[in-house]
Amino acid sequence: MRDNSILRCWRALLGVLAGFFGVRSEAAREQDFKEGRALHFVVIGLLMAAGFVIFVIFLVRWALSLSGV
Amino acid sequence: MGTIRTIRTIISGLSLVLLPFTARAEWTVNLSPGVTEVSRSVYDLHMTIFWICVAIGCVVFGVMFWSIFHHRKSKGAKAHHFHEHTLVEIAWTLVPLGILVAMAVPATATLVKMYDPSEADLDIQITGYQWKWRYTYLDKDLDFFSNLATPREQIGNEEAKGDNYLLEVDRHLVLPTDTKIRLLLTANDVIHSWWVPALAVKKDAIPGFINEAWTRIDEPGIYRGQCAELCGQDHGFMPIVVEAVPPEQFQQWLAQVKAEKQAEAAAAEKSWTLDELMTQGEQVYLRACAACHQPTGTGVPPAFPALKGSPVALGDVGAHIDIVLNGRPGTAMQAFRDQLSATELAAVITYERNAWGNSTGEAVAPSQITRILEGNAETAGEGAQ
């Protein structure tokens, strides 16, 4: 039971990653809709969006520090 | 025979297309490389990205045209139906991502350079007005307006247009070369934008805001620009002329301008005849007033009232002086007290009271204006009400 929910979260993570990238095969998409839980996708999606914003902030800081500002 | 003729036609057509490339030095369609380090790096960036786009265009259209030709229906090609192809989709996502990152690296480097106005040796405040620029050399006690100098006759197609039509001003923004100059941009009325392509500076001038830009000009010369933000009727009539001179010459120019300013103050104290005031007044009027009130004094009612036969120009001289000096709030009439010298103000008011059939016969003395300006400066608090 516990293993199953970890597996589900892992699959949701992959699904969200694929969504960020913009490519997902039809088979994997169907499996997401059949077996996945909406809540997992929403929570992981929000976390990864926040993570992306933080990544961009650090990217800009790094670029500015490289150019000596 | 037919084939040879076709090939000949294609070659002559191609040579017509390629001809401009041989004369690229005189070709002014492209971005200017400019005369500053930043402008050159903007130009290089522009060319890099341009060639990347050319390469992408060649590959994409090449593959497309080849496919159309090679898989044409007459050769019995059959369309292959498939819904998705994950590998191809990943490729067409990763390749543009790579290209964008490759473009972002030099673009970021140029932007960072552009946005660093620190450690400047000279500060200049640039203020946009409808429709002229004001240049204030901070800490140099120098401040002047720069007005369009193209004659109205050229604009009205009554005379042949000059070489620098609509790109010439009465007073150039004189700047030293090899000096880091910080430009502080703002505006007095509406949003303007100060744009000089050769310096790669294009920055909005916004009322209540101060935007920063900077430049370091390598080569002496005259560089022209325009307002780049639609700001009203005469948006196209407020050009920018930057005159870059070597630093020693810049110091000489500063001294010369200060001497001229003192001479002008002295001239305001001498007594002027009506004729002298009228002659100068006409010049000032055409430069500073005619855009709205028209060279004939008839204005464009109701926005810009006529001065010919107007109660202001024929009535109490004190009220007339007050409107010219302080403007009329809520209308397009600006305050000219900072824009014109005492002599110019006296001359233009005299002109308005005696031109186009207005015949009050009154002359306003420059010294009279000087006293009003000095008096108002002391009671500026009251005057603001």
Tokens of B178: 């090899």
* Inter-chain residue contact B89 with A23, CB threshold 8 Å: yes
Domain boundary among B261, B286, B304: B261
Domain boundary among B215, B235, B261: B261
User: Measured between CA atoms, how close is B202 to chain A, in angstroms?
Assistant: 22
pLDDT in tens, B291-341: 889 888 988 888 888 998 888 888 888 889 989 998 888 888 888 888 888
Residues B302 and B173 occupy one common structural domain: no
Domain count, chain A: 1
Report if residue B97 sits inside a domain: yes
* Average pLDDT of the segment spanning B30-36: 91
State the alpha helices, DSSP H only, in B119-246: 152-155
Residues of A with CB under 8 A from a CB of B: 21-23, 25-26, 63-64, 67, 69
Provide, as residue numbers in chain A, all residues whose Cβ is less than 8 Å from the Cβ of B84. Answer: 25-26
The residue among B335, B366, B367 whose CA lies nearest residue B348 is: B366
Residue A54 clears pLDDT 90, i.e. is over it: yes
**From CA B329, how far away is CA B383, in angstroms rounded?**
13
The answer to whether the pTM exceeds 0.80 is no
Closest residue on chain B to A24 (Cα): B86
* Average pLDDT of the segment spanning B145-173: 91
- Domain with B301, as residue range(s), is 268-373
pLDDT in tens, B218-232: 999 999 999 999 999
Q: Decide: B195 and B229 in contact? Cβ < 8 Å.
A: no
Residues in chain A: 69
Report if residue B330 sits inside a domain: yes
**Partner residue opposite B86 with nearest CB, options A23, A63, A67:** A23
Residue B21 clears pLDDT 80, i.e. is over it: no
Residues in a beta bridge with B194: B203, B227
Provide, as residue numbers in chain B, all residues whose Cβ is less than 8 Å from the Cβ of A23. Answer: 86, 89-90, 93
Q: What is the predicted pLDDT for the residue at B270?
A: 79
Residues B239 and B325 occupy one common structural domain: no
Q: What is the predicted pLDDT for the residue at B372?
A: 86
* Average pLDDT of the segment spanning B172-177: 96
Residues B130 and B195 occupy one common structural domain: yes
Residues B193 and B290 occupy one common structural domain: no
CATH of the domain at B248: 2.60.40.420
Residues B145 and B198 occupy one common structural domain: yes
**Partner residue opposite B84 with nearest CB, options A22, A25, A67:** A25
Q: What is the DSSP string of B221-283?
A: EEEEEEE-S--STTGGG--EEEEEE-HHHHHHHHHHHHHHHHHHHHHHHS---HHHHHHHHHH
**From CA B185, how far away is CA B123, in angstroms rounded?**
11
Residues B40 and B168 occupy one common structural domain: no
Question: Is the predicted ipTM greater than 0.85, yes or no?
Answer: no
Domain boundary among B199, B229, B261: B261
User: Measured between CA atoms, how close is B236 to chain A, in angstroms?
Assistant: 37
- Domain with A7, as residue range(s), is 2-67
Report if residue B56 sits inside a domain: no
Residue A59 clears pLDDT 70, i.e. is over it: yes
Q: What is the predicted pLDDT for the residue at B60?
A: 95
Collapsed DSSP state (helix, strand, coil) of residue B157: coil
**Partner residue opposite A26 with nearest CB, options B84, B93, B116:** B84
Q: What is the predicted pLDDT for the residue at B382?
A: 41
Residues sharing a CB contact under 8 Å with residue B1, sequence separation 6 or more, in sequence order = none
Q: Which of residues B374 and B104 earns the better pLDDT score?
A: B104
Q: What is the predicted pLDDT for the residue at B268?
A: 76
CATH of the domain at B353: 1.10.760.10
Closest residue on chain A to B86 (Cα): A25
**From CA B241, how far away is CA B175, in angstroms rounded?**
11
Residues B126 and B210 occupy one common structural domain: yes
* Average pLDDT of the segment spanning A8-33: 88
**From CA B72, how far away is CA B321, in angstroms rounded?**
82
Q: Which of residues B202 and B261 earns the better pLDDT score?
A: B202
Report if residue B306 sits inside a domain: yes
Residues B175 and B304 occupy one common structural domain: no
**From CA B132, how far away is CA B310, in angstroms rounded?**
26
**From CA B45, how far away is CA B114, in angstroms rounded?**
13
Provide, as residue numbers in chain A, all residues whose Cβ is less than 8 Å from the Cβ of B86. Answer: 23, 25
Report if residue B294 sits inside a domain: yes
Collapsed DSSP state (helix, strand, coil) of residue B50: helix
Residues B232 and B295 occupy one common structural domain: no
Domain count, chain B: 3
Report if residue B312 sits inside a domain: yes
User: Measured between CA atoms, how close is B86 to chain A, in angstroms?
Assistant: 6
Closest residue on chain A to B107 (Cα): A63
**From CA B351, how far away is CA A29, in angstroms rounded?**
82
* Inter-chain residue contact B84 with A64, CB threshold 8 Å: no
* Inter-chain residue contact B108 with A23, CB threshold 8 Å: no
**From CA B252, how far away is CA B245, in angstroms rounded?**
10
* Inter-chain residue contact A67 with B90, CB threshold 8 Å: no
Provide, as residue numbers in chain B, all residues whose Cβ is less than 8 Å from the Cβ of A22. Answer: 89, 93
Q: What is the predicted pLDDT for the residue at B70?
A: 93
The helix, strand and coil proportions of chain B, stated in percent and rounded to the nearest 5, come to 50, 15, 35
How much of chain B exceeds pLDDT 70, in percent? 90
C-alpha distances in Å from residue B254, one per residue of B32, B141, B149, B248, B340: 30, 10, 22, 10, 19
> In the sheet where B181-187 sits, what is the strand order?
B142-146, B132-137, B122-129, B181-187, B211-215
Do β-strands B122-129 and B132-137 pair in parallel, antiparallel, or remain unpaired?
antiparallel
Cα(first)–Cα(last) distance of chain A, in Å? 53
Full 3-state SS string of B330-342: CCCCCCCCCCCCH
pLDDT in tens, A36-50: 788 889 999 999 999
Residues B175 and B225 occupy one common structural domain: yes
Tokens of B105: 């690296």
**Partner residue opposite A67 with nearest CB, options B89, B93, B109:** B109
